[in-house]
Amino acid sequence: MTNDQSVLIPAVLVGLRTNESEDDFQHAMDELASLSEACDLQVKGVLTQTLPHPDNATWIGSGKAEELERAISGINAELAVCLGNLSPAQMKNLQKIIGVTVWDRTGLILEIFSRRAGTREAKLQVESAYLQYMLPRLTGMWQHLGRQGGGGGSRANKGVGEKQIELDRRQISHRLSELKKELADIERTRDIQRSGRIRGGLLAVALVGYTNAGKSSLMNRLLSMSETVGDRNTEKEVFEKDMLFATLDTSIRKIDIPGRKPFLLSDTVGFIEDIPHSLIKAFRSTLAEVRFADILLIVMDSSDPHHEEHRRITEETLRDLDCEGIPRIYVYNKSDLRDNIPEIRDSSDMKCVYISAREGAGIDRLLDMIYESTGAGRQEIDILIPYTDGDLINRIHNEADVISENFEENGTRIRAVCTKQLADLIYSRISSI
């Protein structure tokens, strides 16, 4: 969460346009500015360069790098944030010319994540991604420190530096394996909790989508419609803000709207174009709620001209997470910001709905669609349950729709429709059909 009292670091944004269109390049620069804002940077200047391909040594070319150096000293910037992912050598060389720290887009995203990580799991995941990112960059880091120490380049210092790098490298590798183990432990606990919930027989719905699309706002809207124990549901509300990566941790809430079957809803980290691969890998366990969901709500900001592109990126990320088979509903949010709402032609393989999480429009239709789609996630069971397994009979009565029930010599024969999870659980306990 951004701290309003925190000191903003003056920074310059650096863009390199190669073969993308002017519009795409501008859009990417705007996003870099929003990411910088989310990281408490104050953008004091923007410098762009056009080249057929990035310069091997300095990324933007040595002439442009010198121009950048002059701009930086003119406005006392402390940081240069580059659009794109720089190689360790490019980063090191550029840093040397301009005399201030260089971050690339991946480094910036990792920095935001490390500031925002709230739970222990998120902290460990970010640390793991950060160390993987740092590992090949150690050389550049040492050179930078060496220069600050005043002995940059001298042969004696270089030896010490190289030893230090080797040491750092070993320490980082060691820490990475520790982190892997700790994260695996957390994931195991999470699995136990999850199977506990599945036993609750509730349908699991997951919100996914590009960052800032309105996922958390939609969760809060559904919570506000839910039945409350006291008179308010506010303590269950999740954090929403006009800021990239407002949410990092996964929150799960029971949505219990009067007159409708309750379901579980999870809200999690948003996606972004070119999300660092190490980050996706590190967040795989947080995103487990998405992987095990019965249905995905793909939320988009329909007022953003790039929302279809955002949808493509979301689908690609979901593919990386092995979520291709899960039924989905495309939720076009922020309809209140649109002048017109296109006619929706529902087809069996693509379910779309326009909603406004802020004003409530379209929410009832979305809920109908969730229940309609869950038919796909439900299945019929026909099973003979021994009289000794009375607890299973109780669960089926509580959680499934019973079609018929006959008392036979060896047990109760039940035909019912229930969630896939409940069916799997029953079949794993009772092998005879």
Ligand X SMILES: Nc1nc2c(ncn2[C@@H]2O[C@H](COP(=O)(O)OP(=O)(O)OP(=O)(O)O)[C@@H](O)[C@H]2O)c(=O)[nH]1
Residues interacting with ligand X, by CB under 6 A? 211-217, 240-242, 244-247, 270, 333-334, 336-337, 356-358
The C-alpha R_g of the chain, in whole angstroms, comes to 26
Q: How far is the CB of 266 from ligand X (least distance, A)?
A: 12
* CB of 279 closer than 8 Å to CB of 307: no
Return the one option of Mg ion, ligand X, none that residue 212 interacts with (CB less than 5 to 8 A, by type).
Answer: ligand X
Rounded to an integer, what distance in angstroms lies between the CA atom of residue 96 and that of residue 88?
A: 12
Question: Closest CB to ligand X among 161 and 214?
Answer: 214
From the list ligand X, Mg ion, none, which binds 330 (C-beta under 5 to 8 Å, kind-based)?
A: none
The residue (of 247 and 285) whose beta carbon lies closer to ligand X is: 247
Report the partner that residue 255 touches, choosing among ligand X, Mg ion, none (CB closer than 5 to 8 A by kind): none
Longest dimension (CA), the chain: 90
Residue with tokens 């967040």: 283
Residue number, 250 or 278, with CB nearest to Mg ion: 250
- Cβ at position 210, least distance to ligand X in Å: 7
Nearer to ligand X, 269 or 383 (CB): 269
In angstroms, what is the minimal distance from the CB of 182 to Mg ion?
Answer: 26
* Residue least distant from Mg ion (Cβ): 247
Residue 402 binding target from Mg ion, ligand X, none, CB below 5 to 8 Å by type: none
Q: The tokens of 33 are what?
A: 């500015």
**357 interface partner picked from Mg ion, ligand X, none, CB below 5 to 8 A per type:** ligand X
Which amino acid does the sequence have at 227?
E
Pairing type for strands 401-407 and 295-301 reads: unpaired
- Alpha-carbon gap, residue 196 to 131, rounded angstroms: 34
Q: Which residue has 């030896």 as its token pair?
A: 159
Q: Which is nearer to ligand X, 315 or 399 (CB)?
A: 315
* Least distance from Mg ion to the Cβ atom of residue 215, Å: 5
Q: CB of 299: closest distance to ligand X in angstroms?
A: 6
Residues 238-277: x where in contact with Mg ion by CB under 5 A, - otherwise, as a string: --------xx------------------------------
Q: How far is the CB of 79 from ligand X (least distance, A)?
A: 22
Give the residue with the Cβ less far from Mg ion, 366 or 414.
366
Residues 6+ apart with CB under 8 A from 58: 64, 65, 90, 93, 94, 97
Query: Shortest distance, CB of residue 214 to ligand X, whole angstroms?
Result: 3
Q: Which is nearer to Mg ion, 79 or 279 (CB)?
A: 279
Nearest Cα residue to 100 out of 127, 65, 53, 130: 65
Walk across the sheet containing 401-407 and list its strands: 378-386, 411-419, 401-407
Q: Which DSSP helix (H) or strand (E) runs through 50?
A: strand 41-50
Buried b (16+ CB within 10 A) or exposed e, 274-298: ebbebbbebbbbbbbbbebbbbbbb
Enter the tokens of residue 73. 């000293």
Q: Are 237 and 221 in contact (CB under 8 A)?
A: no
Choose the one of ligand X, Mg ion, none that binds residue 54, judging by a C-beta under 5 to 8 angstroms depending on kind: none
Among residues 107 and 270, whose Cβ is nearest to ligand X? 270
- Out of Mg ion, ligand X, none, what residue 241 binds, judged by CB under 5 to 8 A for its kind, is ligand X
- Nearer Cβ to ligand X (337/402): 337
Question: What is the smallest separation between the CB atom of 355 and ligand X, expressed in angstroms?
Answer: 7
Q: Is the dihedral of CA 55, 60, 65, 69 positive or negative?
A: negative
**Closest distance between ligand X and the C-beta of residue 335, in Å?**
7
Q: Which does 124 bind (CB under 5 to 8 A by kind): ligand X, Mg ion, none?
A: none
In whole angstroms, what is the distance from residue 315 CA to residue 295 CA? 14
Helix (H, G, I), strand (E, B) or coil at 377: helix
What is the x/- site pattern for Mg ion, positions 184-223, by CB under 5 A? --------------------------------x-------
Strands (E) located in 198-269: 203-209, 251-255, 263-267
Instruction: Tell me whether residue 288 or residue 418 sits nearer to Mg ion (CB atom).
Output: 288
Distance CA 22, CA 388 (A): 70
**Which residue has the closest beta carbon to ligand X?**
270
Which residues of this chain interact with Mg ion, rule CB under 5 A? 216, 246-247
